[in-house]
Amino acid sequence: MHLVQFLLPLRDNDGRPFPSAEFDRVNRELTDRFGGVTAYLRSPARGAWREDGGDVTHDDVTIIEVMDDDLDRAWWQSYRHELEARFRQDEIIVRATQTERL
């Protein structure tokens, strides 16, 4: 079993918040496919990274996670590309860790 997490920005590149319907859609899609989802919407994380030119960029993100019994890397890659287009991002971080349900 894998815990798959991804980070979605709360605002677009102009600082406008994404509509809550976008996050609801992601939750619905993942619940339909995996039977459940956890979204940390009320306490956003603050990300920081260095751009190619050396400037540090910040972003408020929400963490979405699902438990995936059979990690289908091709499906996750396709879904990541879809989210990158919908949220107008160069890259959305998706990470998976092997986990055990206790």
Compute the chain's Rg from CA coordinates: 14
Instruction: Report pLDDT digits (tens) over 2-48.
Output: 999 999 999 888 889 999 999 999 999 999 999 999 988 666 666 65
Domain encompassing residue 86: 2-98
* Residue 37 tokens, joined: 């989802």
Q: Which of 87, 81, 69, 8 is nearest to 33 (CA)?
A: 69
The pLDDT tens digits for 61-74 are 889 999 999 999 99
Residue 15 pLDDT: 84
Domain CATH for 66: 3.30.70.120
How many structural domains is the chain composed of? 1
